[in-house]
Structure formats: structure tokens, C-alpha cells
Amino acid sequence: MKLPQELFADELWGEWFYNYGVIQKAKIPEMLKKYNLKLRKDKTINDIDLILGRAFKDCPHIREIEAERIAEEVDKVCTIANWEDAVIRYKLCPIDDLDIKANDLEEPEI
């Protein structure tokens, strides 16, 4: 199962990729709340915006490596907000036990 920092890193990379390198600062607080994260002391939303630059520096353009480096940078800027919720989610629904693959998921019809 992925840590909240890794999940946040994946979404942050997706925002960056699908919006052509632009991350809307208004979305960052709701993304942090969604993944049970909070900023460390003396950190601001601008530090989140700089995460991608630090992670991509001298990095080959391989998705898995980029995601790992973004997660490391997120860990330096953010911390888990509520440990009780994080532990409960991990115990109730370990994603590794599920037998769902990305190819099995279907897009909803509009």
C-alpha cells in the first residue's frame, strides 16, 4: 500500500502533466486534506509548488523515478495530519490485497 505522501505525489505529478506544467495553488490545500497531509512548520504553499522543480532536477524522464523523487520531496515539506486515520485506512483496506489492475478499470460513459 502506498503512503499518503506517495499518493499525493502521484496526484501532484498528474496535475503538472495534464495542465502542461501549471499547478493551481488553489487546489493544493484540498489535495493535502484529501491525502491526510499538512505542511510542516515554516513551510508554505509555495514550497509545494517548488517540489516538482527539485524532484525533476537531474532526473531521467521515467515516470516511476519521477514519482519516487516527488514523494521524497513531499516528505520533506509535508507530514501526516492525523495518524489515527492513516492507521485505520491501512488496516481496513490494504490495497495490495485487492486484485484490481489499472487495465480492469473502465471509464464511465457520459
User: SS3 string of 44-91?
Assistant: CHHHHHHHHHHHHCCCCCCHHHHHHHHHHHHHHHEEECCHHHHHHHHH
* Mean pLDDT to the nearest integer, 23-34: 89
* Mean pLDDT to the nearest integer, 67-83: 87
Residue 30: predicted pLDDT: 92
pLDDT surpassing 60 at residue 46: yes
pTM of the model: 0.71
- Closest alpha carbon to 56 in 40, 73, 75, 79: 73
Residue 80: predicted pLDDT: 85
* Mean pLDDT to the nearest integer, 56-74: 86
Residue 99: predicted pLDDT: 47
Q: How many CB atoms lie within 10 A of CB 91?
A: 8
The percentage of residues in the chain with a pLDDT greater than 70, rounded to a whole number, is 75
Residue 48: predicted pLDDT: 87
Q: Are 71 and 6 in contact (CB under 8 A)?
A: yes
H or E segment to which residue 5 belongs = helix 4-18
